[in-house]
A and B are shown apart, each in its own frame.
Chain A
Amino acid sequence: NSKVIQTPRYLVKGQGQKAKMRCIPEKGHPVVFWYQQNKNNEFKFLINFQNQEVLQQIDMTEKRFSAECPSNSPCSLEIQSSEAGDSALYLCASRDISNERLFFGHGTKLSVL
């Protein structure tokens, strides 16, 4: 069973609304990734963190998303103004520093109406 905890499991928002999802990485994993999986099974990397610092993010994330991984709190990913095209499964993954293997949460399925 996955030890990466994502909430909520499902999220329904109207266009223009904020959409926030959270992720608790596996204990002891300082590296966290967010991916978006669309209905065509295409995975898109969004952003990753090491501890509280952003390592890499794509342009879309920088412009439209707000993401953080504060110490002693869940990581979060928030779309500032949801669009229909944001409807997707958002997957959080974590890993150890020295281990390349990524472990995924169950995802948050976002539907933007």
Chain B
Amino acid sequence: GDQVEQSPSALSLHEGTSSALRCNFTTTTRSVQWFRQNSRGSLINLFYLASGTKENGRLKSAFDSKELYSTLHIRDAQLEDSGTYFCAARNYAQGLTFGLGTRVSVFP
């Protein structure tokens, strides 16, 4: 959506490599959520951040509310990391405003 600019739109990774996804927000947001959507459409919760950084296994996310961006780092990519990653900014009235996603493909 207009409020959330997500990049890149697609990413190909060799197994074992690392990369980062980014979301820029055009308006102030109090928090951000990151999801991975699998091929069946299920949205898996990865992170919720109101500030700072969080880490979960090989994934790490940061949110800078002042500079209006969030990042998601994938370290040592594995085949199961493939999917479409979405960031979403908190929207007071409508819950969340989503980016258009980053399609991540991890190959051997």
A residues with CB within 8 A of B: 2, 33, 35, 37, 40-43, 45, 48, 56, 89, 91, 93, 95, 100-104, 106-107, 109
For B33, the chain A residues whose CB sits under 8 A away are 101-102
Task: Give complex CA distance A10, B33 in Å.
Answer: 26
Q: Which residue of the partner chain B has the closest CB to A107?
A: B41
- Please count how many residues in chain B sit with their CB below 8 Å of the partner chain's CB atoms: 26
Whether the Cβ atoms of B94 and A100 lie closer than 8 Å is no
Q: How far is the CB of B92 from chain A (nearest CB, A)?
A: 10
For A45, the chain B residues whose CB sits under 8 A away are 91, 94-95
B75-102 contacts to A, CB under 8 A, are 84, 86, 88, 90-91, 93-98, 100-101
For A89, the chain B residues whose CB sits under 8 A away are 41
Q: B66 in the interface, Cβ–Cβ < 8 Å?
A: no
Whether the Cβ atoms of B93 and A56 lie closer than 8 Å is yes
Whether the Cβ atoms of A100 and B43 lie closer than 8 Å is no
Quick one: which of A42, A43, A56, A89 has the most chain B CB within 10 A? A43
Task: Give complex CA distance A45, B93 in Å.
Answer: 10
With A107-B41, A107-B42, A109-B41 as known contacts, state yes or no: A102 contacts B101, CB within 8 Å: no
